[in-house]
Structure 1
Amino acid sequence: MRLLNFTIIKLTVCLILGITIGYLNPVSILFALLTTGFLLLSLLIFYLIARKSFTKTIWFGSIAFLAMVSIGILTTTIHNQKNVANHYTKVISNNIDSLNTVTFRIREVLKPGNYYDKYIIDIFEVNSTKASGKTLLNIHKDSLKPSLKVDEIYISRTPFKNLIPPLNPHQFDYKSYLKKQYIFHQLFINNESLFPVDHKTTTLFGIAARLRQHINKKLEPYHFKPDELAIINALILGQRQDISKAVYTSYTNAGAIHILAVSGLHVGILLLILSFIFKPLERFKHGKLIKTILLVSILWSFALIAGLSASVTRAVTMFSIVTIALNLKRPTNIYNTLAISMFVILLVKPMFLFDVGFQLSYLAVFAIVAIDPLIYSLWKPKYWLPDKLWHTFTITVSAQFGIIPVSLYYFHQFPGLFFISNLVIIPFLGFILGLGLLVILLAMINCLPQFVADVYGYIIYLMNTFIGWVSKQDAFLLKDISFSLLYVIVFYLLIITGIRFLFKRNYKNLKLFLIAVLVVQSAFIFNALNKPSNEFIVFHKSRFSLIGQTLNNTIIIANDFDSITKSTNNIIRDYTVGNHIETFEEQSIPYLYQLNKKNILVVDSLGIYNIRTLKPKYVLLRQSPKINLNRLIDSLNPKLIIADGSNYKSYVERWEHICRKRKLPFHQTSKKGAFILKY
């Protein structure tokens, strides 16, 4: 089956292209509107000409695809909240660092950090001027104060702070992640600076949050353990904020993290249960229509309760289309259904395209639909149990073919025992979800027997224990895999051509597969030729110094870490994985780096720099040396001063002021990020 024979798939591809262009190259709303209007008018003219002459022309199709690309650009532009006339960035554009009186509403509760409780908020007013937009709110943790609730409105006086970009190479770019959610700034506030505002407005997000809170309150008397209650919230309610780091890591390393993300598997099971419950309605007049309306309404209510994440939105949209098509007695094609669901979601939420969950969700489903029938046909067990286990295995393997390249690109690890986790958990997941829904329903009406709660808690405990055991088999967990975007593209090419040749062996498919192999080899060669070499890096690490020197695919590390910091630090891991560096060495921090003709003098807390025979071009200040910087500059005449994260903030501010006064370049790693010098 050739996927591009389906018109909706072609249009969806064009929409994706338009969204990508619109995000990477923003344009004004007026330009996007005029371009889209012109193309749609041209499309109408070509359609009328083609219908009148009864002939197909290439121009109609070309204009249609261009119009869809333009619609993608327009959709991205319209949804960009910065283009709204009263967006808060227009109010604070001239005084971003000054105090602003801000009125806002809590929109979403995020997983707390080490020092702050985090929320996404909707801005209502800034300095008595009506405003709109979202931002990130950080509240200093206070065990004596309750957490803020969704829909609560507050007033506070605080400056807007810029989001911090990654300070070291290949670190997770949280600023870019938030930008895709139209969040451009953050607020830091103490609980004492928050003033609540009386209000009567309620949003759907607030209703869903209160319902989740009510469900958890009803479950409290049954004494579920924290990890068990966190898994129940993830499986049934789509909330993963309370999952401990240890449990989350176990599911990740076992290749079972998708179980905790409400997606197609969960929604499909819910749809089967609801279809069975509402089956009697079909006996009445218009019963099928009523059943369809109820099913779609409950599915979207469930999606709202689960937080409308990308994966659950995809699943509910797709199953809603299937449900409506069955009611209309229209034949459905799974590829069309997937494409329509993607098309609709991206029109409403174009930034979902860059969401990892959205990408993995669709890639997994496309792979299952395309590959699973081929693998499943290799063996037809006679008995029910072997057949179910075999089919679970083939579905799991098919999904991995779809997501492996993207998963390696984002997470750089591969759980080798993923099939064991899925073979054991997936067959029972329907029962676990169904019993979970029953437990919540009985708890809501105060009719849940304690022994049922105990049994369900023990089932969750067994699942966590098994996942924990699988995750500890370190020999089967491949970590720190370097995988670039180029590798993603060429390996998908290899997977597609390899599967085509494996199940349909002919000369054409063999030729395509061999070409893909050559392309993959070329990507490896290209990567080997472009690895960083002769590179000196002063990384940013608060309270410590971390220096790297890259030579011939090896990085030489010098640091003053303590044992705890050394075991938990990921800065070097991110750098080596991102740059495909295979080996690293350690040494103590020297007082001088000689890099060809570029010398870097390191001045530590001892403050020794009186080297008359040496004129360093760069000076690195670390561990807050008590020196007279003016005297150092006069003595050594450096071209650049570097201050890493180990220095006191007051020292760095004083040094920065001196360098600015003397018009000498000053690199502060806490502001400008890692200092990188190629030599």
Structure 2
Amino acid sequence: MRADHKGELPALFLIFPFIAGISVGLKYPTANAPFILVPLLTLCFLFILFNWGYNKFNIYKKRWLGGLLITPILLLSGWLIVLQHYQLNHPDHFSKTSSEYLVTTINNEPVQKNGLTRFIAEVKQIGYAKKASPATGKILVTIKDSAAKILCYGDELLIPAKYDEVSPPLNPGEFNYKQYLAHKNIYHQLFLYPGQYKVVDTNCGNPVIAYALQLRQNLVTKLKRNMHDTTAITVASTLILGYKADLSNDILQAYSKTGTIHILSVSGGHVAIIYLLLSWLLSFLNGNKRGRVFKAILIIMFIWGYALLTGFSPAVTRAALMISFIITGKTYSRYINTLNILAFSAFILLLGDPFLLTDVGFQLSYLAVTGLILLQPIIYKWISFKNKWTNKLWLICSVSIAAQAVTFPLSAYYFHQFPVYFLLSNVLIVLPVSIIMYTGILLLLLPQITFVSNWLGYILEKTILAMNSMLHLVENAPAASINKIWLTSTEYILLYIIMVSFFAFCYKKSKWKLVVLLFSVLVLAFSVGVKNISGQQIRSVTFLSLRKHQGIVFKNGNEGVVLTDLPETDKSFQYSIQPCLDSSRIYNYKIYTFSDNIRTKYLAKQNDLIQFLNKKMFLLNSGGKSQSIPQSLKPHYIYLAKNSIIDPENIEEKSIFIIDGTNNNSHIDSLISLFGHKRINYKLLSRNKSATFLSN
């Protein structure tokens, strides 16, 4: 719904400086609080003073004065809120004081995967000897112990204070897990084995959240009792309840490639389906004002109960807030501007947790709804149909196009792909998703009646499997997705400028909008072209940091050779090597092991000797055996792995030595000592970033 004038949208115009302040705070979270607080209080005092003298001093003649004051007030407020929430600013953060042990409480639902139990713990106390003191802070805990499967939300644990800072990404294009956790106010992690932790108490968490999580587990168990196919059970648990613990990468990939990943994230669409169901069931209360008020209270309570059940995800919380405001307004026959409510709900959520601004789900959720409000009416008017059902189909298509258009730059920036057949996929899932939601809710609400529950479970399972089959066909269609989209920050911004100017021109044509659109397209094309040309000209070798594994990437323009001990299907390959290839724009590559002999037009490998263009490399990869380097070889790089022993008298001083992470700590220490004594250039990969050398 478009506002007729900006006075209808106070929250929308006020949210921007507040978001700007939060962004500044996230960039500079350790700023001095008084430096912000003093000017903030001064501006607030002036704002109150000017409002008090609004008529007395004829301030109403200077309308711009209020905006001039409120903008920096909101900006500084956003910055100050970040400083207050940034846990490393707290003097009692557990990392500020050395300790022997931590007393922690599990504050989320532990996830079991690949024999590991992982959860976020809130530190309550730190201890040294027999002394304990209060502390704050969150820590990511991973336990490799089958007994840890019984741990649950609210359990209080005694754990050793042998934590580490979260490591940054070590290889090109690798997912920045350190930044991801920092955006959740987590900066340290701890890995534990059997006997290294002790449960000292239970039920120490919020009783409401504990009840909701236990109820969700019971409902997941009910789904498992009435369904048989594990994939269908996983999709049902995720789609209806937001329970993602059993979600596999294959399912995620299928939904991601078809542009339907949003249905696996419980969001506004799910809340809307529940709202429509409740509104229909309670329609008998519409007869009088008291009945309408009671109906509104019931629906709001159910929706917030559902939000609690799904873990208060940003999308569900935003939808619950919006629908609560809309229901309240409609109940009392008030005019409501949806954009204003959207901005107000964002303001409330960010006020409670400014770090939500960095959450991808939060960003995509608000962008998608903004697109539906602003762009969908424009797109819908492009084509008109006289046939009722064709017109409804076009309505669904316009909704999908609007949501995809406004979220495409962000999703391409984060996930590096674009689903080509998103429109077809989203049209195909409209009916199945509705059946799944209504059937699933009915199954979970009704008591366990064998015949009825099994029948509902059968319908639910068959619908999910049919939907998966349709999406599988789309996923395997030719050119189903455009992958390896790596945008720079400038290109990301240009995409949004293009999108906004295009739809602004469609809404109301003007010359300047067309100029902005065409100029932005030209600049984007130039940027992409320059990036591709420069990528084709780069020749380089990258020694990857893979901890217990090995990997070397040789880049020759858009071609490449990968030397590794990992198969392409391995998770470590997909996590560390594949992003390196994609971000380096290596589209045509071959994978070899260290024992293979290789011969290409730009690289030759014979046993331990590699010739890459004009660079020579020697591999010391014998696993503890002493090896000597031929005196006449004079390699540019010498690769040391698996505790290979090198003769100190046989060191080529002009070579660069690469110490791989497969060497143990004692061997690494001896090598560093040797190279330091002889002043030899070396690069250590263990717990360090990868090393890239140009070979042009």
Same fold (TM over 0.5): yes
State the match for 1:175 in structure 2: 178
How is 1:256-271 mapped onto 2 (pairs within 5 angstroms)? 256-271=260-275
Equivalent residue in structure 1 for 2:500, among 496, 500, 504: 496
State the match for 2:579 in structure 1: 574
State the match for 1:15 in structure 2: 18
State the match for 2:671 in structure 1: 655
Q: Say yes or no: does 1:109 pair with 2:106.
A: no
In the superposition, relative to structure 1, how do residues 296 and 446 fare at CA in structure 2: closer, same or farther (>3 Å)?
farther
1:357, distance to aligned residue in structure 2 (A): 1.0
Is this contact kept in 2: 1:494–1:516, CA < 8 A? yes
Equivalent residue in structure 2 for 1:626, among 637, 641, 645: 645
Equivalent residue in structure 2 for 1:671, among 687, 690, 693: 687
Is this contact kept in 2: 1:537–1:547, CA < 8 A? yes
- Structure 2: runs of 5+ lacking an equivalent: 591-599
Is this contact kept in 2: 1:50–1:57, CA < 8 A? no
1:534, distance to aligned residue in structure 2 (A): 4.9
State the match for 2:621 in structure 1: 604
Q: Say yes or no: does 1:356 pair with 2:374.
A: no
State the match for 1:475 in structure 2: 479
Equivalent residue in structure 2 for 1:508, among 512, 519, 524: 512
In the superposition, relative to structure 1, how do residues 162 and 79 fare at CA in structure 2: closer, same or farther (>3 Å)?
same
- Look up the SS of the partner of 2:644 in the other structure: coil
Instruction: Name the aligned partner's letter for residue 604 of structure 1.
Output: N
How is 1:10-89 mapped onto 2 (pairs within 5 angstroms)? 10-26=13-29, 27-52=31-56, 53=58, 54-89=60-95
**Cα distance in 2, alignment partners of residues 475 and 556 from structure 1:** 23
Is this contact kept in 2: 1:32–1:77, CA < 8 A? no
**Cα distance in 1, alignment partners of residues 239 and 562 from structure 2:** 45
1:224-254 CA distance string (max 9 Å, x none) = 3222221221122111121222222211122
**Cα distance in 2, alignment partners of residues 407 and 514 from structure 1:** 23
1:300, distance to aligned residue in structure 2 (A): 1.8
- Look up the SS of the partner of 1:463 in the other structure: helix
- Look up the SS of the partner of 2:244 in the other structure: coil
1:567, distance to aligned residue in structure 2 (A): 9.8
1:167-223 CA distance string (max 9 Å, x none) = 101100111100100111111112433322234544132221111112223344324
Q: Pick which of 639-648 and 428-437 moved more.
A: 639-648
- Look up the SS of the partner of 1:108 in the other structure: coil
**Cα distance in 1, alignment partners of residues 419 and 445 from structure 2:** 35
1:118-151 CA distance string (max 9 Å, x none) = 1111111221222121111101042x66341111
**Cα distance in 1, alignment partners of residues 340 and 241 from structure 2:** 29
How is 1:211-290 mapped onto 2 (pairs within 5 angstroms)? 211-283=215-287, 286-290=290-294
1:471-494 CA distance string (max 9 Å, x none) = 222532222223222221111111
Is this contact kept in 1: 2:103–2:123, CA < 8 A? yes
Instruction: Name the aligned partner's letter for residue 432 of structure 1.
Output: I
Is this contact kept in 2: 1:3–1:335, CA < 8 A? no
Equivalent residue in structure 2 for 1:196, among 194, 199, 215: 199
State the match for 1:122 in structure 2: 122
Is this contact kept in 2: 1:615–1:637, CA < 8 A? no
Give the TM-score, by structure 2 length. 0.88
How is 1:525-544 mapped onto 2 (pairs within 5 angstroms)? 525=529, 527-528=531-532, 531=535, 533-544=538-549
1:158, distance to aligned residue in structure 2 (A): 4.8
**Cα distance in 2, alignment partners of residues 652 and 115 from structure 1:** 30
1:433, distance to aligned residue in structure 2 (A): 1.0
State the match for 2:596 in structure 1: none
Q: Pick which of 56-65 and 235-244 moved more.
A: 56-65
- Look up the SS of the partner of 2:152 in the other structure: coil
**Cα distance in 1, alignment partners of residues 145 and 388 from structure 2:** 54
1:600, distance to aligned residue in structure 2 (A): 5.7
State the match for 1:385 in structure 2: 389
In the superposition, relative to structure 1, how do residues 618 and 455 fare at CA in structure 2: closer, same or farther (>3 Å)?
closer
Is this contact kept in 2: 1:215–1:444, CA < 8 A? no
Q: Percent of counterpart pairs with the same letter?
A: 26
Q: Pick which of 377-386 and 246-255 moved more.
A: 377-386
- Look up the SS of the partner of 2:552 in the other structure: strand
Instruction: Name the aligned partner's letter for residue 477 of structure 1.
Output: S
Is this contact kept in 1: 2:640–2:660, CA < 8 A? yes
Q: Pick which of 302-311 and 637-646 moved more.
A: 637-646
Q: Pick which of 170-179 and 616-625 moved more.
A: 616-625
Give the TM-score, by structure 1 length. 0.90
State the match for 2:315 in structure 1: 311
1:25, distance to aligned residue in structure 2 (A): 1.2
1:558-588 CA distance string (max 9 Å, x none) = 5143655689723443124324455557745
1:542, distance to aligned residue in structure 2 (A): 4.2
How is 1:637-656 mapped onto 2 (pairs within 5 angstroms)? 637-638=653-654, 641-656=657-672
1:116, distance to aligned residue in structure 2 (A): 2.1
Q: Pick which of 643-652 and 34-43 moved more.
A: 643-652
Q: Say yes or no: does 1:136 pair with 2:140.
A: yes
**Cα distance in 1, alignment partners of residues 463 and 662 from structure 2:** 48
Q: RMSD of aligned C-alpha atoms? A: 3.0
**Cα distance in 2, alignment partners of residues 221 and 197 from structure 1:** 33
1:71, distance to aligned residue in structure 2 (A): 0.9
- Look up the SS of the partner of 1:426 in the other structure: helix
Is this contact kept in 1: 2:543–2:692, CA < 8 A? yes
Work out the number of aligned pairs and report it.
Answer: 667
Instruction: Name the aligned partner's letter for residue 175 of structure 1.
Output: K
- Look up the SS of the partner of 1:407 in the other structure: helix
1:29, distance to aligned residue in structure 2 (A): 3.1
Q: Pick which of 204-213 and 467-476 moved more.
A: 467-476
**Cα distance in 2, alignment partners of residues 278 and 31 from structure 1:** 54
State the match for 1:460 in structure 2: 464
- Look up the SS of the partner of 1:513 in the other structure: helix
1:438, distance to aligned residue in structure 2 (A): 0.7
1:643, distance to aligned residue in structure 2 (A): 0.9
Instruction: Name the aligned partner's letter for residue 644 of structure 2.
Output: P
- Look up the SS of the partner of 1:405 in the other structure: helix
Instruction: Name the aligned partner's letter for residue 642 of structure 1.
Output: I
Instruction: Name the aligned partner's letter for residue 179 of structure 1.
Output: A
1:23, distance to aligned residue in structure 2 (A): 0.6
